[in-house]
Amino acid sequence: MITDAPRIVTSRLGHSDSHTLERYLATGGYEGLRAALARPPAEIREEVDKASLLGRGGAGFPAGRKWSMLRPAEITYLVINGDESEPATFKDHLLIERDPHQVIEGTIIAAYALGVAQAFIFCRGEFALGLERLSQAVNEAYAHGALGRNIFGSGWSLDLVIHPGAGAYICGEETALLESLEGKRGFPRIKPPYFPAAIGLYGAPTVVNNIETMSNLPWIVRNGGAAFAALGQGSSTGTRLFALSGRVERPGWYELEMSKTTFADLIMDPSLGGGVKDGHDLKAFIPGGVSAPWFGPEHLSLGLDQDAVAKQGSMLGSGSVVVMDDTTCAVRAAWRITRFFYRESCGQCTPCREGSGWLEKILRRIEEGAGREADLDLLMDACDNIAPGVSWPPQQTTICVLGPSIPSSIASGIRMFRDEFLLHVKEGGCPMRDAR
């Protein structure tokens, strides 16, 4: 790590048996829960508020504020979003497989703080090993007295169910996730209500939190919210688990102190990304999942900070950074990202369902050599129909944010590499094909 911040969510990952109860108990496991149960739930909520823990799913909404919005009712639910599917994001996958007990302990702490009696972890279906590890850990947690009736003799009880997804990106959107958990197609729900905290699972007030968010809770309870908030700066507190991929020497996961580490550190430092692959030059990078507008080399010095990235017109999003180098074709990259959204659009809203298909077809023909010069304007016109003004953050025309996220990569690609798009049209195909 570049700074001397502690590893909060990846402290066990050096051990090959990091997923076992034995290792977990030997390294402070379930002590956070024991400490939490000795205090009233309101105090746990205060600690999380003090930590200023931002949700780690992508939107970066403060976890404490989300909790405070839970409408009081006889039955409420906690649902953990482990449907990680944002392209190039693989941090929750790692935490589920390698430290499932930490996810579960965090979930139990959150359930206690919120006063719910049943919680669900929605785990992406493709994570077969993750599902097995989580299921094993839940069985162990029940046997250990950390789940079920009268947890650790506290008089408080909780049931936790592991729910497998079945392959649909859109189920990461929290209202689509709840629909899927109700046994339906993963169609996002019409807003308002904006938050499941008002109307969620089966119409009951529901908090939906991310896997990494939960993984931070045992540490926060053991060390205090103030210790967490002392890391990072401004609203970006604590550490974050970054997923680095693409044209880089050392792709992988890196837990880094927020704000105080930069994109240059992450991509170039020999102990982290180790620089662009094979000594090539950096062309562009995606700072936070493919829904985020691209950055160029001039943004390398920017801190890994939610507000700082937002100020520069993109987002830290899901914490996944994709590196493109001088062998990467910008048109092809924009096409592949658009193709993803086209395939994953749920089809409810016209701008997303039709617009994604238009954009995919136009980009494909430019890449394949059948593009026309007017296609660039056509692309931007279609983008404008999906998200008027093609601004950042995008204007909403649809039920969820999937559709309006589509123009971001195309618009930033055209803005940064207009000549390259035009060269495809002029030369009748991809000028970089031979470089691959």
Partner 1 sequence: MAALTPENFERARAIVALYPKARSALIPLCHLAQSQDGWLTPEAMEDIAALVGVTPAEVRGTASFYDMLHTEPVGRHVIAVCTNIACMLGGAYELLEHAEEHLGIAVGQTTADGEFTIEEAECLAGCDTAPCVQVNHRFFGPLDAASFDALCERLRSGELGGDVPHHGTLCRVERAVGLLATEGERGGDER
Burial class (CB in 10 A: 0-12, 13-18, 19+), 336: middle
Assign 260 to helix, strand or coil. coil
Using the contact rule CB under 8 A, the part of the chain among 61-69, 138-146, 255-263, 374-382 near partner 1 is 138-146
The sign one gets for the Cα dihedral 23, 112, 95, 128 is: positive
Pick the binder of partner 1 from 306, 314, 328, 356 (CB under 8 A).
328
The smaller minimum CB distance to partner 1, of residues 51 and 243, is found at: 243
Is residue 365 near partner 1 by the rule CB under 8 A? no
Is residue 116 within 8 A of residue 72, CB to CB? The reply is no
Choosing from 136, 223, 312, 385, the residue that interacts with partner 1 (CB under 8 A) is 136
Tokens of 54: 């931002």
Residue 230 Cβ vs partner 1, minimum distance, rounded to whole Å: 30
Residues 148 and 118: their CA atoms lie apart, in Å, by 10
- Residue 325: CB minimum distance to partner 1, A: 8
**By CB under 8 A, residue 245 contacts partner 1:** yes
**Residues of span 58-87 touching partner 1 by CB under 8 A:** 75, 84-87
Give the shortest CB-22-to-partner 1 separation in angstroms.
17
From candidates 23, 34, 39, 163, binder to partner 1 by CB under 8 A: 163
Among 290, 352, 359, 387, binds partner 1 (CB under 8 A): 290
SS3 assignment, position 194: coil
Residues 203-232 that bind partner 1 (CB under 8 A): none
Q: Is 175 exposed, middle or buried (0-12, 13-18, 19+ CB in 10 A)?
A: buried
Radius of gyration of the chain (CA): 22
| Minimum CB distance to partner 1 smaller for 308 or for 331 | 331
Pairing between β-strand 236-237 and β-strand 232-233 as defined by DSSP bridges = antiparallel
Does residue 285 touch partner 1 according to CB under 8 A?
A: no
Residue 241 interacting with partner 1 (CB under 8 A): no
Q: Are 32 and 219 in contact (CB under 8 A)?
A: yes
| Residue range at the interface with partner 1 (CB under 8 A); choices 43-51, 144-152, 362-370, 387-395 | 144-152
Count of all residues that appear for the chain in the document? 436
286 touches partner 1 (CB under 8 A):
yes
Number of residues lying near partner 1 (CB under 8 A)? 73
- Tell which one of 31, 46, 49, 132 touches partner 1 (CB under 8 A): 132
Strand partners, 426: none
What is the bridge-based pairing of β-strands 252-257 and 239-246? antiparallel
Q: Is 267 in the site for partner 1 (CB under 8 A)?
A: no
At residue 245, φ and ψ (nearest 5 deg) are -150, 180
